[in-house]
């Protein structure tokens, strides 16, 4: 289903600008899909759940790019429906949709409109926070109309730099250390705007573990085993071994189809909760 707004202009092309700059400092951050940089700031309650889910969705996409390179074509632009457009903000919307917080983050491709939306709702400022949407102008202005790139804040460092997760930076999803070009921050209302809903009480679904279960590479852990055991209890034929490999993905896809969920073979918050419904 296309999610584009017919009147929305195509976003600016940051292809030769959304790189790192000397002012940003060393890029001493991992690029492995699913890797975590521990934030030095914290949220609480429902806000933490929404921000954590948003960040988990973005972390899982590290290393994804364009097909073919230089084309702006990928699964994010296919999903959004605006054509092969610059996709930094499209990626933010895709992650928010996967995390169940699209209403809080906003669905935009055109970055100036997105920043203005936050400002119009009284959720705009200049203080970095975990889960905030950060907007850039590589020309160095503080003008919302000049914004040409966007990311989500993963961590705030003591030296004043931020660690971000961004799409369409040198044509890929990458983790960045940033200080240059920041125009401001939009603060999603995660608490009331739709982070993953808490699991029903009364012994139903355990809390979503906060990471997307996917392969390759094979992911392992107690959360994988918990999901596998639940699916086995429901009658699905899979090994309960704590390793999310091809067999688990196959079961996940068939289960998603049965439940009319997006069929992608990834156990996110919606697929996780559905296993206990």
Structure tokens at 274: 């559905």
Report the 10 Å Cβ neighbour count for 43: 17
Provide φ and ψ at 36, rounded to 5°.
Answer: -125, 135
In the block, residue with structure tokens 């392969």: 215
Instruction: Report residue 189 as tokens.
Output: 């209302």
Confidence of residue 68 (pLDDT cuts 50, 70, 90): very high
Query: What's the confidence (pLDDT) of residue 259?
Result: 85
Calculate ∠ Cα 99-198-94, nearest 5°: 10
25 beta partners: none
82-140: per-residue pLDDT in tens? 889 999 999 999 999 888 888 899 999 999 999 999 999 889 999 999 999 999 999 88
- Tally the residues of the chain: 277
**Domains of the chain: residue spans and CATH:** 22-193 (3.90.1720), 219-274 (1.10.101.10)
Q: Which of 258, 225, 257, 255 is nearest to 239 (CA)?
A: 225
Reported as a single tens digit per residue, the pLDDT across 158-208 is 888 999 999 999 999 999 999 999 999 999 998 876 433 333 333 467 888
Q: Does residue 15 register a pLDDT over 60?
A: no
Look at residue 41 and tell me whether its pLDDT is greater than 60. no
pLDDT at residue 249, rounded to an integer: 94
pLDDT at residue 177 in the model = 96
Alpha-carbon distances of 168 from 55, 172, 228, 246, rounded to whole Å:
16, 5, 34, 29
Find the mean pLDDT for residues 267-274: 90
Tokens 């009284």 correspond to: 122
pTM comes to 0.67
């Amino acid at each position: 289903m296309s999610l584009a707004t017919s009147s929305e202009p195509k976003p600016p092309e940051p292809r030769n600008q959304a790189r790192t700059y000397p002012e940003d400092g060393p890029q001493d951050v991992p690029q492995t899909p699913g890797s975590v940089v521990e934030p030095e700031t914290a949220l609480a309650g429902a806000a933490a759940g929404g921000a954590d889910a948003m960040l988990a969705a973005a972390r899982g996409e590290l290393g994804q790019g364009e097909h073919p390179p230089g084309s702006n074509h990928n699964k994010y632009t296919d999903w959004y429906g605006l054509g092969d457009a610059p996709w930094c903000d499209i990626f933010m919307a895709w992650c928010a949709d996967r995390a169940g917080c699209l209403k809080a983050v906003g669905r935009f491709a055109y970055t100036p409109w997105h920043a203005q939306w936050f400002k119009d709702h009284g959720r705009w400022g200049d203080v970095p926070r975990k889960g905030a949407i950060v907007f850039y102008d590589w020309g160095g202005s503080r003008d919302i109309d000049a914004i040409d790139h966007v990311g989500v804040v993963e961590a705030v460092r003591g030296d004043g730099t931020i660690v971000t997760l961004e799409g369409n930076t040198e044509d890929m999803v990458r983790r960045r250390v940033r200080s240059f070009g920041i125009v401001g921050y939009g603060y999603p209302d995660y608490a009331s705007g739709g982070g993953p809903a808490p699991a029903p009480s009364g012994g139903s679904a355990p809390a979503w573990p906060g990471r997307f279960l996917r392969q390759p590479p094979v992911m392992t852990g107690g959360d994988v085993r918990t999901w596998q055991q639940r699916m086995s209890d429901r009658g699905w034929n899979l090994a309960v071994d704590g390793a999310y490999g091809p067999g688990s993905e196959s079961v996940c896809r068939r289960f998603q189809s049965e439940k009319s969920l997006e069929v992608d073979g990834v156990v996110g918050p919606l697929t996780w909760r559905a296993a206990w419904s």
